[in-house]
Structure 1
Amino acid sequence: MTPSSSELQATFQALRGLLGRYQPPLMPKVNKAGHFDLWSTKNVVIDGRKRTEVYFAGVIIQKGYVGLYYMPVYTTPEMKKLFAPELLSLLKGKSCFHIQTLDARLLAQVKRALDAGYKLYKKNGWV
């Protein structure tokens, strides 16, 4: 069953709240209704390329789900081993989780994933 727009909005707000815990040092490029993301604005070199920013994660209300775009799993695919099967089943493609409903258990799994990704970015010197 497709979630209602109010259910999607509630899911978005809960995920947006988790991401907000990393601000600062991560900063949003987009912060509007239905779309929020976070970036590191630290000058870094990744794979020999200078970068002035690195994408961390974002949430966007899509048609029928909330997309959680999570770059740490893209840069470090081994992170998938840390995910509970429930969260991993929502991963579509390399870095986007399609979340239709969000309960306390799934919210805790997302929080653990975000924490692990933030620690990875700190370890790599990207934050």
Structure 2
Amino acid sequence: MIKDISEIREKLKKTLESFLGPLKVKVNKPANFELMGTIETYQGKQKVEGIYFSSLVPKEKDVRLYFFPAYTHPQEFENLSETLKKFKKGKSCFHIKYLDEELENEIQNMISKGVELYKKDGWLE
């Protein structure tokens, strides 16, 4: 089990980077890692060069995983494990306090599902 914040951030960053292609890096700084889509679209009423997808923000006691598909498609992410549900704050933010293999796999599957949903909606290639 990983409890070190910098290690958690790096693991989650590598997981997110495995989806580069349909996603691209918008911000890559120690305090914020952000991914967005590669297709120009509307986000609300504003035209954007790519839809916001996810970001990582390390804090003192956890790593914040902001995951926009959980906001845009909440019904698709209702069946999370009890652990991941405990980490969820609000509609699309997860406060990741530790990682184990099971949680890593669930997060990877959640991100994969988000990519597929966004592809289906025409927001990602």
Question: So what's the TM-score if we normalise by structure 1?
Answer: 0.87
Structure 1, unaligned runs of 5 or more: none
1:102 counterpart (86, 99, 102): 99
CA contact (8 A) 1:27 1:40 kept: yes
Structure 2, unaligned runs of 5 or more: none
Do residues 68 (structure 1) and 42 (structure 2) align? Answer: no
Other structure's SS at 2:8 match = helix
Aligned to 1:35: 32
Question: So what's the TM-score if we normalise by structure 2?
Answer: 0.88
Other structure's SS at 2:53 match = strand
Q: What code does the residue aligned with 1:19 have?
A: L
* Relative contact order higher in (CA < 8 Å, ≥ 6 apart): 2
In terms of mean alpha carbon deviation, does 36-45 or 57-66 score higher? Answer: 36-45
Q: How big is the alpha-carbon RMSD for the aligned residues of Structure 1 and Structure 2?
A: 1.6
- Relative distance call for 1:115 and 1:83 in structure 2 (3 A) is same
For 2:30 and 2:47, the matched residues in 1 are separated by 32
For 1:49 and 1:15, the matched residues in 2 are separated by 29
**Cα distance, 1:29 vs. partner?**
1.3
Q: What code does the residue aligned with 2:26 have?
A: K
CA contact (8 A) 1:82 1:113 kept: no
CA contact (8 A) 1:42 1:53 kept: yes
**Cα distance, 1:49 vs. partner?**
5.3
For 1:125 and 1:10, the matched residues in 2 are separated by 34
2:82 counterpart (82, 85, 94): 85
Deviations 1:1-25 (A, max 9, x none): xx5xxx0000000000100011123
Aligned to 2:116: 119
Number of residue equivalences: 122
Do residues 22 (structure 1) and 19 (structure 2) align? Answer: yes
**Cα distance, 1:47 vs. partner?**
5.8
Other structure's SS at 2:36 match = strand
Other structure's SS at 1:13 match = helix
- Relative distance call for 1:44 and 1:13 in structure 2 (3 A) is same
